[in-house]
């Protein structure tokens, strides 16, 4: 089955700087890669997703890149703001298998 | 966007009792629903895939006789934790995939926090 690895597990960046979170997956048949943001005690919220026929997708300050050959995809957050502090999960495949998550801290 | 609800939002029960959690898709038909469990400061772990009108598919290591899943309609799936024990205390989250759309997007419920005393 699919196995998703995510790193780093914790990331601290200065407000205004960029944050990058990386994930790798094992199943070459996976064709859907969503990213979720989860705040404490709440449900995961989809923030951006990408499909295997696209290499990059951008939505305002958030972008995702996908390298199918290397089987890795990344989340990029630019101009980080305090409200970006949360746990971020990558996932792969139609039966969404989550990475272990990255706790992002935005430092004032 | 699509809405998925869960009931109850939290439950406290005694060890040995059974607890039923409902997951509903409110404005779309969900042929497939997923049940996840999340322990504190950990990721969501997929427990099982629930398909309307058929048996659920359980992930490796998940006891199907302990976690009973029923998906009797296109808008409702239930998870019953049987003979619950303190180690079953966790945050249980369901998600539903829109069966009518041509998308893989899954919509998550708000979660149910189970505490077994």
> What's the pLDDT at B31?
81
Spatial CA neighbour of A50 closest among A36, A27, A32: A32
pLDDT in tens, A82-95: 999 999 999 987 66
| b/e code A24-39 from CB counts within 10 Å (16+ = b) | bbeeeebbbbbbbbbe
**Do residues A104 and A85 touch, judged by C-beta distance below 8 A?**
yes
Q: Which residues in chain B are closer than 8 Å to A32, comparing Cβ atoms? A: 104
The answer to whether the CB atoms of A96 and B105 lie below 8 A apart is no
> Which chain A residue has its CA at the smallest distance from B5's CA?
A43
> What's the pLDDT at B103?
58
CA A99 to CA B69: how far, in whole Å?
Answer: 24
Spatial CA neighbour of A64 closest among A98, A100, A89: A89
pLDDT in tens, B42-83: 889 999 998 888 889 999 999 999 999 998 888 999 999 999
The answer to whether the CB atoms of A98 and B93 lie below 8 A apart is no
CA A92 to CA B25: how far, in whole Å?
Answer: 22
> What's the pLDDT at A93?
74
> What's the pLDDT at B1?
63
**Do residues B94 and B2 touch, judged by C-beta distance below 8 A?**
no
Q: Which two tokens stand for residue B73?
A: 């309609």
Spatial CA neighbour of A36 closest among A7, A81, A75, A10: A75
The SS3 of residue A38 is strand
> Residues near A35 by Cβ (< 8 Å), separated by ≥ 6?
A46, A47, A48, A49, A62, A64, A75, A88, A89, A90, A91
> End-to-end distance of chain A based on CA atoms, in angstroms?
41
Looking at CA atoms only, how far is residue A101 from chain B in angstroms?
6
The residue with tokens 């990386």 is A22
> What's the pLDDT at A94?
61
pLDDT in tens, B75-111: 999 999 999 999 999 999 999 987 555 456 788 999 9
> What's the pLDDT at B99?
58
């Amino acid at each position: 089955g699919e196995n998703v690895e995510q790193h780093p597990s914790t990331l601290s960046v200065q407000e205004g700087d960029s944050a990058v979170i990386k994930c790798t997956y094992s199943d070459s048949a996976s064709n859907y890669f969503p990213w979720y943001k989860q705040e404490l005690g709440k449900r995961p919220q989809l923030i951006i997703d990408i499909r295997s026929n696209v290499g990059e997708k951008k939505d305002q300050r958030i972008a995702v890149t996908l390298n199918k050959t290397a089987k890795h995809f990344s989340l990029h957050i630019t101009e980080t703001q305090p409200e970006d502090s949360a746990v971020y999960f990558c996932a792969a495949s139609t039966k969404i298998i989550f990475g272990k998550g990255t706790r992002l801290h935005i430092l004032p | 966007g699509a809405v998925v609800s869960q009931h109850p939002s939290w439950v406290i029960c005694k060890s040995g009792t059974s607890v039923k959690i409902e997951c509903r898709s409110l404005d779309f038909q969900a042929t497939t629903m997923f049940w996840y469990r999340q322990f504190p400061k950990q990721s969501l772990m997929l427990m099982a895939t629930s398909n309307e009108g058929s048996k659920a598919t359980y992930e490796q290591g998940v006891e199907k006789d302990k976690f009973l899943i029923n998906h009797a309609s296109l808008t409702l799936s239930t998870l019953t934790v049987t003979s619950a024990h303190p180690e079953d205390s966790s945050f249980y989250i369901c998600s539903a995939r829109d069966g009518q759309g041509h998308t893989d997007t899954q919509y998550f419920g708000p979660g149910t926090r189970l505490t077994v005393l």
